[in-house]
Amino acid sequence: MRYLVGSFLLVLMLVGFASAANLRIVGYDVVWSSTNDPSPAYHVLILNEQGVSDRLAGWQLCLIIIPTQGATGVLQFTSADLPRQPSENYLLAGDSATLDGSDPPPSPLIVGPTDTLLLGDYALSGFGSEVPASEKMLLKVDFAASEGAQGEFAIAVVPGQENSFWASFDTNDSSEMTRGFQGIPLEGDPVVIAKVIVNSSIPEPNGFHLLLAGAILTLGHRTRRGHSKQQRWAIQAV
């Protein structure tokens, strides 16, 4: 992580921090039905909401996990990496200084478990890539849970110039400007982008549930006696 963040901040010649932003960080809720199974792979995405043709020359995100009310146990990040496969549609694919540089760090870039992630990348060409209206992948993570962890855990972006921002390249004066993401304030509380729902699977039916289902089927059978075949309804136990 020191290699990644240190190189990123060194190469980007940051001259200011602008509040105007048209790039949005996108996350989707994910269900981890049982922590006995491997962690789901979780992707954070980015898109351009306003159609402005800013070129993204670099980005950085600081993510944390916040348990919501009623959640038990601990959920942490196990690892984090940039999308490396062509099918993963990474924003800076083919122009990533981290992945395509002369001395790229190993995969994954960050190994946990950890409560906080600080991850970023910058364009090897220096000019960056235009961000389309369709979603592009930015990073991927997976999780580790403590024994007995259950409930909803929020994934949140930490705002601020030292935490979460993107950099655009100005072709007129060859300078770069860091900007905040759409919906992420320059300062303040972390902004939730998604939730991880842990151990939420429906339990297997116990003996009582089976007896109840049998009683319902028996009652339905007796009720239908004397009715014509055209009036019979099927009962399905779930």
pLDDT at 153: 96
Cα separations (Å) of 31 from 80, 123, 147?
18, 33, 17
pLDDT (tens digit per residue) in 86-126: 889 898 988 899 988 878 788 899 998 999 999 999 988 87
**Section 113-142 average pLDDT:** 87
**Section 121-150 average pLDDT:** 87
β-pair partners for 169: 176
Cα separations (Å) of 69 from 153, 154, 198, 206?
9, 10, 13, 28
Q: Report residue 134's pLDDT band, with 50, 70 and 90 as the boundaries.
A: confident
pLDDT (tens digit per residue) in 144-161: 999 989 999 999 999 998
pLDDT at 38: 93
Question: Are the C-beta atoms of 152 and 195 separated by less than 8 Å?
Answer: yes
pLDDT at 102: 78
pLDDT at 12: 47
pLDDT: which is higher, 6 or 207: 6
pLDDT at 151: 95
- Average pLDDT over the chain reads 75
Which string of DSSP letters, residue by residue, matches the chain? -HHHHHHHHHHS-EEEEES---EEEE---EEE--TTSPPPPEEEEEEESS----EEEEEEEEEEEEEPTT-BS-EEEEEEE---SGGG-BTTTT-BHHHHSSSPPPSSSEEEEESEEEEEEEBSSSS-EEPPSS-EEEEEEEEEE-TT-BEEEEEEEPPSTTTSEEEEEETTTTEEEEEPPBT--SSSS-EEEEEEEES-PPPPP-HHHHHHHHHHHHHHHHHTTTS-GGG-------
What's the pTM? 0.74
**Section 46-71 average pLDDT:** 85
Cα separations (Å) of 16 from 4, 69, 176, 177?
21, 38, 8, 6
pLDDT at 176: 62
Residue 128 confidence (pLDDT) above 90:
no
pLDDT at 208: 33
pLDDT (tens digit per residue) in 198-228: 986 534 334 333 333 343 333 343 433 433 3
pLDDT at 51: 58
